[in-house]
Structure 1
Amino acid sequence: MQTQCRKINVSGVVQGVGFRPFIYSIATENGLFGHVKNRGNDVEIVVEGENNDLESFLHDLYNKKPPLSLIDQIKTKDFPVSGFSVFSILDSELDDNTSSIIPTDTAICSDCLREMYDRKDRRYHYPFTSCTNCGPRYSLVNSLPFDRKNTSMVEFPLCQGCGLEYKLPSDRRFHAQATCCQDCGPVLSLTNGSGDVIASGHDAIIRCAELIDSGSIVAVKGYGGFHLVCDATSDSAVLKLRNSLDRPAQPFAVMAKDVDTVSSFASIDADESSLLLSRQRPIVVLDKSNGLALSDHIAPDLHNIGAMLPYSGTHHLLFDNSDTDVYVMTSANLPGLPMMTDNEEALSHLERIADHYLLHNYVIRNRTDDTVIRFVNGRKAFIRRSRGFVPERIELPFSIEAAIGVGPELNTTVTLAKENSAYISQYIGNTRHFETAQYHKQVVSNLEQLTKINPHRWGCDLHPEFNTTHFAQEQGGNNTVYVQHHYAHIISLMVDNLLPADSRIIGIALDGAGYGEDGTIWGGEVLEATYSGYERIAHLMEQPMPGGDKAAINPSRMLLGMLHDVLEPKELRGLPLYFKHGEPERDIVLQQLEKGVNLVRTSSFARVLDSAAALLGISQSRSYQGEPAMKLESVAKKGVHNLDLPVVCKRGVLDTTSLLYDLYERLGTHDVCDLAYSVEDALAVGVAELAISAAKKRNVDTVGLSGGVAYNEHITGRICEVVKDAGFEFITHNRIPCGDGGVSLGQAVVAGNSENFD
């Protein structure tokens, strides 16, 4: 038969995942000759052989690809026959303008685990065992191409054994840039609080497990930063950690030895189990069950708990040597600051928190917090999209110019986008703090370098005082594009669902706060949105926030503001509310409301939930973001009777004062759980009716929900039910956070959409 030649270009996640060795393998198996090389933007393959063998090769290319690879596109064309006699792997061919998609950090694979437990293997008990199918990637890389010399592993020259594997095309460690063993790779060391080494290597693992079992708090350095670890079954250890961190109630995540252990303290369905076991190993938020006795102080007054499984060799080895099967595993950072990644930094800043430190000696180039996911209304909802998912490409439904979204202020990410691709950064945090604002700039620089996207326009929030806004103004100048917060939420929702460029939806955006075009604080919005603009059609009633942001921290202030016009002063003073400075503070708040001074107006949905939580005695102070609303949801989950609280909507405004007053009137005559369920239900029905009315008037077929409130399963499910019953399509998020972690994507798409600037 006649020899044919084809040139094949494969784009996607094809670098650092064993893709070229895979191509070598299937080419030789099919009797083909030619070569494969990495060009940065893609992998180029030239293969010669008979037609049947070429077709078999293409079949294998589609169906047998490496587990960490992700193929976006395959282009094939005929090519002149060159008479190749072998199949070769050529050196990378890159220039300053080529980009590549860096693979994510992934959990240690079963093959590496098997080797790690094989007494005859030279990687026996070696925690940094990895191959082309697993291990750290993004957290290691410094620059492109993804070669060992451009990663943290450059400090660890390969030994003879690892070098042979690295050069052998048939070995799964062929060109595995992070490969190593105990003869040539990083090492573990266990130190006391002063930094004195008390054990090394596997002895450090054994001693660390003993310390955790005995009640110590250990700072453990992992893929993307430090965790603070303690025994999750010990009240004293968990309370010690809470007191040291000054986190009286914020829920801690836990890591369990295996899925069976997780099922002993949480309810798990098939989708949740699959996600726990996925190579990304995220924290999955699960409903608690009455099984294994974990400390009640891990997630106090909440119905759910965040759990994950071991993803590094270190984690597996710790559990093998521990008496407990569940650890508290929370990011090691001071309030509002980025997670720590440097050994000296951790020893210095965690000295009053950690008793001991389990350290390794390679540099973390890109910090990555744990990803957090919850299933809401049957769909994945990213609460935090980071380790295991960053920097995966997000497909855009249409092509845009090179642009960046710098994010809002809290729970920030940044997004770089160009043509039909976007790259959302890891979780950054609260940019009010100088250190986090500096980290934000570093992430922008690193992501620009890795994606080779030079943004022409800079999308940012409308709020004039955000550090992110100032940064965009400094960098973008006249090319700065100001994007209203809730419009950015809805655009990210439209992109998440790959709605085409001419789409029009009614978007419901529900959250805590976003600077509105009228200078007030929005947060309960119904918008008619296209990719080119939006109109605010309806919203929750504007309510006063006595003391501004103080009302967001103290729900009692917010509640007084909401009920001030419908209750007598004596009734307001009789409410069982909490004020840090007691009655004098309460009286000052009432005076502010009476005189109309020091008040900020808000239509925030979250502030209404906070007020309801305070009124029902569920949560009258806030120690972490979202606490009152989360506790309200947990109480509402126990509700069995819907009291059908009246929903009043007039001229596109949902009357939240009348709703809270009706709730007040029923205090003492109904179960608190039923009241909590009913107020959530009424609010959900109210915004759904506002959206349905808008959709009918504007002749729009699709209604969508975004914003942090969308993590509430009851509220999201009820809105979905009402909207669908009215005959409209309902969309929510799946690939992108519905909270503020997705705002940067919306900003980037608005900024990069050339139609907005014609």
Structure 2
Amino acid sequence: MSVESWRIRAGGVVQGVGFRPFVYRMARHRGLSGYVRNLGDAGVDILIQGATDALEAFLTDLKQRSPALARLDHVDVQRTDHEIMSEFVIEASGDEGGAGGQLPPDVATCEACVGEILGDSRFHGYWATSCTDCGPRFTVVEGLPYDRPRTSMAAFPMCADCAAEYGNPLDRRYHAQTTACAVCGPTLQFDGEMHDALPRAVRALADGRIVAVKGIGGTHIACDATQPAVIQTLRDRLGRPSQPFAIMGPEELLREYVQLTAEAAAELARSHRPIVVVPKRDQTTLPNVSPGLHTVGAMRPYTGLHHLLFSSIERPLVMTSANRPGEPMLVENERIRKELRGIADHLLLHDRRIVSRCDDSVRRQVAGRWVFLRRSRGLVPQGLRWKLGSESILALGAESDLTFALYDRSLLTVSQHIGTVDDPDTLQFLREAITHLSELTRARPPSVVACDAHPAFLTSQLAEEIASSGAARLVRVQHHASHLAAVLMDNDVREDAVGIALDGYGYGPDGSAWGGELLIVRGRSVERVGSLAPVRLPGGDLAAREPLRIVAAYWKAAGWSDERVASELEKRGMTATAIGVLLRQIDAGVNAPWTTSAGRFLDAVSALLGVCARRTYEGEPAMRLEAAAVGGHPLPLHPQLTRQGAGWRLDLPGWFEELTDLAGEVSVQDMAATAQQALAEGFARMALAVAEEYRLRCIALSGGVAYNDHVVSTILRLCAAHGFDLLTHQHVPSGDGGVSAGQAAYAGLGWTLHDLMGTMPSDQTA
């Protein structure tokens, strides 16, 4: 029998997923000799020797039977003259660099480990039990190759039993870098004491206490989700009067409180265990968990610690991030103790260092399609195969819900959720995360740095700093052009297209506030060809927090007198002094930029209807409006679509006046549904008209408003009726969490933006 030698390079997610022991078992099964070893970021190197038919069978096994968590992006095979080996072995890791391997993300505790934690095994009751198929990766790793000395588990030498399993290629824990047990692994402490840490935490939660729980990528604050008074105490302490909290529990427990379709249950069970936004069972369910909303974010336990808690707790728990909104998650024990003093009654902490913060991922079904509200834990740092050219790119995102993105050699890696970068702590977290992810991905130093067009964003200033220090080219990208680039690349579409951007805010080329835009892509040119009719945004950011100010702007744009506007605002509780200042701002255009924002329009309707007149968290007025519209029946009120120069305008001020006149005669439900329908129908009509005018066959939708189920469903239905398949996001968020990916695409593809319309009304000047 002639013996051949094949050299195989496998790239993709092949480290930390049991790939080498899988290769070992398959080679032994086929009677082959050779070796397998990790190559750091270059993937896995395999030398395989034997008869040709056995080698071909092995290659088929490699491609078709890989571990569930592995992902093969490429398998390269070459014949070689290597000396014949006597057996198949697993060799020590090498470090050749390159771009063939990717570190896997954190993975929820597998069923086998849960069985050991809750059953009769040496891992019984041990909170940090894991194996090759589960447990933390990204949040504990310092660098590649992914071996224990390069993780925060290096501080915990293995006991004899763990070392034996770790070293056995046929064991489930072979080279599982987080292998540990109660004898040798990280420990839990409750209020600084190890004794009975878990039982004491369970008793505290059952007694209505608020407990901080340190996890794998950050810290949650937990309490009983069925006790409104406890939740109100938590809200008062955190200063979050209305922000929706997520709940956690086993699936059978969650079903008592939320509506779970088969698809939603499948989402909850995915290996990254996301928070899944689902309808409440009824509007009396969990009233203080997500006030004013018809949905709640739910997730299943995803760590051994969670499973142990719910083995003794029979109610769902609130699980909300232990940090101020937009700021980095707390991960260091001393800082947790300091920052949560006066907020949490008790602290359930562990002594394993969190190397990388990583918030929970969030999913929701919109118009029948599952989308990311946040793409973070369980998915980062897995890359996306986007071909954006040969230059290496760092894209820094916008400001809120920020992620950054690294692009190198056809791989785009979008970071974990960073937060709102408007303070020193979050900016420092961003800097550290860029450095760490660059090291893990082995990305080349950027030759292009992309950022938002807004000059005052800290991310824009950081981009200038990085570009100048590294002699890189700086590319400023208009916010909604980023959204369009992201959704097209998310669908692997490179043809000319119409793009609908429905969003809250984006800095326009003339300093105006864009947010309801129609763009087209032709070649490398992005052209603005439609928008909402502009209104003033009195007070700038203040108008977003107090949307009655936008209501006044819509009334003024509809031609109302100051006296009539003042009278209506007084009825809604605004003082005469505040009204006077507001009207002067609108009339003079002082600190009142023009805006075409779809998000601000929905905010204004929410305030007009008395649904939400003051925002306490990002997106609140529009989210409450969507909830208020559930079960409502839209009225046949259609805003006028007009030509303006080379583009189109949707006249919402005139329509807003009609809606105001119906107040008191029509239910809030129906009026809320009417507003959403009008916005969606108006933009669908505009997009279809532009598609016909420019002979384009592709329509895409992105932006924060693209999370509104009714808006997206309506646009989808109208596009389908005219033969168009509406493109929406699949792999990155449609909100600002996807902006960095879009910036990278815009810069890499060499796009340029042209505004064919201007923002100000044609009959007015600044």
- TM-score normalised to structure 1 length: 0.95
For this pair of structures, how many residues does the alignment match?
A: 744
Contact 2:167 2:175 survives alignment (8 Å)? yes
Q: How far off its partner does 1:518 sit? A: 1.8
CA distance in 1, matches of 2:422, 2:66: 44
Q: 1:490 aligns with which of 470, 481, 484?
A: 484
Q: How far off its partner does 1:668 sit? A: 1.6
CA distance in 2, matches of 1:299, 1:471: 36
Change (3 A) 1:114 1:730: same
Per-residue CA deviations over 1:249-281 (Å, capped at 9, x if unaligned) read: 01000101x212222211112221111011100
Map of 2:90 onto structure 1: 89
CA distance in 1, matches of 2:303, 2:340: 23
Contact 1:282 1:372 survives alignment (8 Å)? yes
Aligned pair 1:499/2:490, yes or no?
no
Q: Equivalences for 1:463-612 in 2 at 5 Å?
A: 463-477=454-468, 479-500=473-494, 503-529=495-521, 532-565=524-557, 566-575=559-568, 582-612=575-605
Per-residue CA deviations over 1:549-600 (Å, capped at 9, x if unaligned) read: 1111110001101111432334323326798973321221122223333311
Contact 2:524 2:750 survives alignment (8 Å)? no
CA distance in 1, matches of 2:56, 2:631: 58
Map of 1:677 onto structure 2: 673
Change (3 A) 1:608 1:98: closer
CA distance in 1, matches of 2:357, 2:100: 21
Q: How far off its partner does 1:482 sit? A: 0.8
Contact 1:649 1:690 survives alignment (8 Å)? no
Q: How far off its partner does 1:641 sit? A: 4.4
Map of 2:366 onto structure 1: 376
Aligned pair 1:413/2:403, yes or no?
yes
Q: 1:663 aligns with which of 659, 662, 666?
A: 659
Unaligned runs of 5+ in 1: none
Contact 1:606 1:709 survives alignment (8 Å)? yes
Contact 2:403 2:418 survives alignment (8 Å)? yes
Q: How far off its partner does 1:337 sit? A: 1.5
Contact 2:702 2:735 survives alignment (8 Å)? yes
Q: How far off its partner does 1:370 sit? A: 0.5
Q: Equivalences for 1:163-182 in 2 at 5 Å?
A: 163-182=163-182
Aligned pair 1:248/2:241, yes or no?
yes
Q: 2:289 aligns with which of 294, 298, 310?
A: 298
Aligned pair 1:159/2:150, yes or no?
no
Aligned pair 1:238/2:239, yes or no?
no
Aligned pair 1:460/2:454, yes or no?
no
CA distance in 1, matches of 2:459, 2:143: 25
SS at match of 1:393: coil
Q: Equivalences for 1:245-324 in 2 at 5 Å?
A: 245-256=238-249, 258-290=250-282, 294-322=285-313, 324=314
SS at match of 2:439: helix
Map of 1:48 onto structure 2: 49
Map of 2:343 onto structure 1: 353
Map of 1:693 onto structure 2: 689
Contact 1:385 1:427 survives alignment (8 Å)? yes
CA distance in 1, matches of 2:546, 2:636: 27
- TM-score normalised to structure 2 length: 0.94
Per-residue CA deviations over 1:104-157 (Å, capped at 9, x if unaligned) read: 0011001111111223x2111001000010000000011111110110000001
Q: Please give the root-mean-square deviation of Cα atoms over the aligned residues, in Å.
A: 1.8
CA distance in 1, matches of 2:238, 2:630: 30
CA distance in 1, matches of 2:17, 2:317: 31
Which amino acid letter does the alignment assign opposite residue 71 of structure 2?
L
Contact 2:637 2:655 survives alignment (8 Å)? no
CA distance in 2, matches of 1:660, 1:126: 60
CA distance in 2, matches of 1:260, 1:582: 51
Change (3 A) 1:680 1:127: same
Which amino acid letter does the alignment assign opposite residue 473 of structure 1?
E
CA distance in 1, matches of 2:205, 2:567: 48
> What percentage of aligned pairs have identical amino acids?
39
Per-residue CA deviations over 1:74-108 (Å, capped at 9, x if unaligned) read: 12233336322100111222145567311100110
Q: Equivalences for 1:180-195 in 2 at 5 Å?
A: 180-191=180-191
CA distance in 2, matches of 1:650, 1:559: 25
CA distance in 2, matches of 1:540, 1:641: 20
Change (3 A) 1:9 1:520: same
CA distance in 1, matches of 2:751, 2:542: 40
Which amino acid letter does the alignment assign opposite residue 106 of structure 1?
V
CA distance in 2, matches of 1:248, 1:578: 25
Contact 1:99 1:452 survives alignment (8 Å)? no
Map of 2:132 onto structure 1: 132
Unaligned runs of 5+ in 2: 754-766
Which amino acid letter does the alignment assign opposite residue 60 of structure 2?
H
CA distance in 1, matches of 2:217, 2:235: 23
Change (3 A) 1:580 1:157: farther
CA distance in 2, matches of 1:755, 1:2: 56
Change (3 A) 1:734 1:48: same
